[in-house]
Amino acid sequence: MFRPTLFEMVRASTLLLAAAAAYAAPLYQQSKFASGGEPGWTVWSARPETRINAYVDQRISRGEAGSLAIGGASNVAGHGGWERSVADITPGAWYRFTAYYRTDAVAAENWQVVARLDWRTSGGRRAGQPEYVSRARRDGNWTRLTGEAPAPKDAASVAVQLYLSNAPAGTVWWDDLTFEKIADPGARAVRVASINLKPSGTSGPEESVNQFIAAIEKNVTGEVDVIVLPEGITVVGTGKTYPEVAETIPGPTTRRLGEVARARKAYIVAGIYEREGTTLYNAAVLLDRTGEVAGKYRKVYLPREEVERGLTPGSSYPVFATDFGKVGMMICYDVAFGDPARALATQGAEMILMPIWGGDETLAKARAIENQVFLVSSGYDHPTYIMDPAGERLSEARTRGTAALATVDLNRRYADPWLGDMHTRRWKEQRTDVPVPVPGLEQ
pLDDT digits (tens, 9 = 90+) for 326-382: 999 999 999 999 999 999 999 999 999 999 999 999 999 999 999 999 999 999 999
Q: How many CB atoms lie within 10 A of CB 64?
A: 12
**CATH number, domain containing residue 352:** 3.60.110.10
Burial 314-333 (b: 16+ CB within 10 A, else e): beebbbbebebbbbbbbbbb
Residue 431 lies in a domain: no
**pLDDT reported for residue 9:** 53
CA 110 vs CA 67, 98, 121, 388: distances in Å: 20, 16, 28, 25
pLDDT band per the 50, 70, 90 thresholds, residue 8: low
Tell whether 73 and 102 lie within a shared domain. yes
Tell whether 141 and 193 lie within a shared domain. no
Higher pLDDT, 39 or 53: 53
Residue 427 lies in a domain: no
Tell whether 172 and 259 lie within a shared domain. no
**389 burial level (CB within 10 Å; 0-12, 13-18, 19+):** buried
Tell whether 178 and 287 lie within a shared domain. no
- To the question of pTM greater than 0.75 for the whole model, the response is yes
Residue 18 lies in a domain: no
Tell whether 102 and 236 lie within a shared domain. no
**92 burial level (CB within 10 Å; 0-12, 13-18, 19+):** exposed
Residue 211 lies in a domain: yes
Tell whether 203 and 177 lie within a shared domain. no
Q: Is the pLDDT of residue 216 over 80?
A: yes
Strands (E), 236-302: 267-276, 279-287, 293-298
Tell whether 166 and 201 lie within a shared domain. no
**pLDDT reported for residue 232:** 98
Rounded-to-integer distance, Cα 303 and Cα 324, Å:
33
**pLDDT reported for residue 34:** 87
Domain boundary among 182, 215, 244: 182
Residues pairing with 416 in the sheet: 420
Tell whether 98 and 164 lie within a shared domain. yes
**pLDDT reported for residue 108:** 96
* DSSP per-residue string spanning 351-375: EEEEEESS--HHHHHHHHHHHT-EE
Residue 293 lies in a domain: yes
**Which uninterrupted H or E stretch holds 304?**
helix 304-308
Domain carrying residue 374: 189-410
pLDDT band per the 50, 70, 90 thresholds, residue 18: very low
- Mean pLDDT across the stretch 152-167? 98
Tell whether 356 and 374 lie within a shared domain. yes
Percentage of the chain lying above the pLDDT 90 cut = 89
Q: Is the pLDDT of residue 20 over 60?
A: no
**Phi–psi pair at 169, nearest 5 degrees:** -100, 0
pLDDT band per the 50, 70, 90 thresholds, residue 417: confident
pLDDT band per the 50, 70, 90 thresholds, residue 12: low
Tell whether 156 and 265 lie within a shared domain. no
Rounded-to-integer distance, Cα 361 and Cα 91, Å:
39
Tell whether 173 and 195 lie within a shared domain. no
Tell whether 311 and 332 lie within a shared domain. yes
**Which uninterrupted H or E stretch holds 176?**
strand 171-182
Residue 271 lies in a domain: yes
Residue 247 lies in a domain: yes
Rounded-to-integer distance, Cα 246 and Cα 209, Å:
14
Q: Is the pLDDT of residue 4 over 80?
A: no
Provide the 8-state DSSP code for 247.
Answer: B
Domain count, the chain: 2
**CATH number, domain containing residue 28:** 2.60.120.260
Residue 62 lies in a domain: yes
pLDDT tens, position by position, 229-270: 999 999 999 999 999 999 999 999 999 999 999 999 999 999
Rounded-to-integer distance, Cα 242 and Cα 48, Å:
64
pLDDT averaged over every residue in the chain: 94
